[in-house]
Amino acid sequence: MKEIVINLIENESENTKLDFKQEQYPIDKGNAKKGEFLKDMCAFANLTSKEDKYIIIGIEEKGGTAVGLKPIDGLQDQASYQQFLNQYIEPEINFEYREFVYKDSRLAYFRIFDNDKGPYLFKNEYRDNLPKSPTYRAGTGFVRSGSSTRELRRDDFEKIYAERSSIEDRSNDIDFDFSIWGFTSQELKYKGYIKHLRVDVINLSNRSIDLDIEAKIYNKKNVRAKCTQDLAYIFFREDQEKSLLAYQSFQGKVTPQFNFRETNVRFENYKEYSIYEITPSKGTHTALRAKQKGKQIDIFNGQIALVFSRPTEINIEITVRSNDFPNGPKTFEYEIPQEEISEFLDPRDL
């Protein structure tokens, strides 16, 4: 990616998909120019071109051509930029913000990409109440035109909607497979009717596809869903306390600590159901990429634990989001019958 950005600096002038900025966008409170960031990002996201768009920071330009460098002091926080955008513009804009070194100068760039859910519009009015600070009404949108930015017109909306309708719907390219497994960890192996639900995603097509996935598992009288790591920690502490009560510890013995690992899975428990959501790894924008004609094993990284009091059916709802789903998220509903669950529960485990 760095090579692409350097090539843009050395060989291209500002155009519809490229802009040079001398300084980083300010988004701190009280800065009259922070609205410029919202306007520019909105304008690039509304371009119907499938090519990546770039805003390169730290470039002095003349007539749209890079003529010098103005190194930046430090990289801003991408999460802060994303939060500021999400506060005022919808739908969410995909971008990455990275630092790089060019000719011993510290620069940065925004890469705006895969934004095909337009039009991108202000959902709230932006008003900073400072001299020379712009005001943007709710419902306003912008688009790049040459090397400048203008407000969206009717023909722009028609072009954006026509582009959206031409997107191939790939929601039928994926499916899921479920299986019940026993735990092998010391904390959970001999703890009764506790099983691991493995969820695999299958890509039926000849092209890879980026997905955001969450699973909703309904709690019932005889089964509840838990987070594996949280459950293992509870049993670890219980065993630790029993060991102390039984005077099995001795002076100088170091009690091993329970290590929490990064699972990229967010867990939330409610009265009627539990939700597991795969979170993107650092530097990525989607939870996972399903490879062409392949199966991705255990996409929730072993974190779905089912605690049974007796065999009962499991109801699962999988919600999938993708830029390749033009009609929005797709929901898959599955049921693992009681008879199948019974095969994996040994009465001797209780």
pLDDT for 82: 92
pLDDT, block means (10 residues), the chain with 350 residues? 88 94 86 87 92 94 92 84 92 91 93 89 87 86 92 91 79 93 81 88 93 94 92 83 57 56 90 92 79 93 92 93 84 91 68
| Partners of 57 in beta bridges | 21, 108
The tokens of 314 are what?
A: 């499991």
CB atoms under 10 Å from CB of 350, counted, come to 10
pLDDT for 333: 93
pLDDT for 42: 96
pLDDT for 199: 96
**Which residues have a Cβ under 8 Å from the Cβ of 117 and sit 6 or more positions away?**
91, 164, 323
pLDDT for 20: 96
pLDDT for 243: 67
pLDDT for 315: 95
Q: Is 247 exposed, middle or buried (0-12, 13-18, 19+ CB in 10 A)?
A: exposed
Report which DSSP code applies to 301. T
State pTM to two decimals: 0.55
Write out the DSSP string of 129-176. Answer: -STT--EE-TT--EEEETTEEEE--HHHHHHHHHHHHTS---TTSEEE
